[in-house]
Amino acid sequence: RYIDGGFTSMQPCAFWKDSITISTFSSQQDICPRDCPAIFHDFRMFNFSFQFSLENITRMTHALFPPDLVILQGYYYRGYDDAVSYLRRL
């Protein structure tokens, strides 16, 4: 059973090859933040690949304890840039 995507399966349709996967954390998803690859360790949890980095720890902290509006707007614009970068790679 699914309780919440963050607790049971972050990517429940990951096995579909023609789906676009999106994450708010730096990982191996199609659209996600791209952190410096030399500073993380990759691990898998809840059907989700996650890169252990300082930036991701900060994102996780902000997911649990929302920061001020300026930081949230920064996440919004970086998410837009991540999506545009993905579309350019197609």
Domain range list for the chain: 1-90
Reported confidence tier of residue 1, pLDDT bands at 50, 70, 90: very low
Structure confidence by residue, pLDDT tens digits, 16-39:
677 788 888 888 888 989 887 666
Q: Which helix (H) or strand (E) holds 52?
A: strand 49-52
Q: Which of 74, 70, 80, 34 is nearest to 53 (CA)?
A: 34
Task: Answer whether 0.85 is exceeded by the pTM.
Answer: no
Structure confidence by residue, pLDDT tens digits, 45-82:
666 677 888 888 899 899 889 999 999 999 999 999 99
- Predicted confidence at residue 48, as pLDDT, reads 67
How far apart (Å, rounded) are the C-alpha atoms in residues 15 and 82? 22
Beta-carbon count within 10 A of 49 CB: 19
- 3-state SS, residue 36: coil
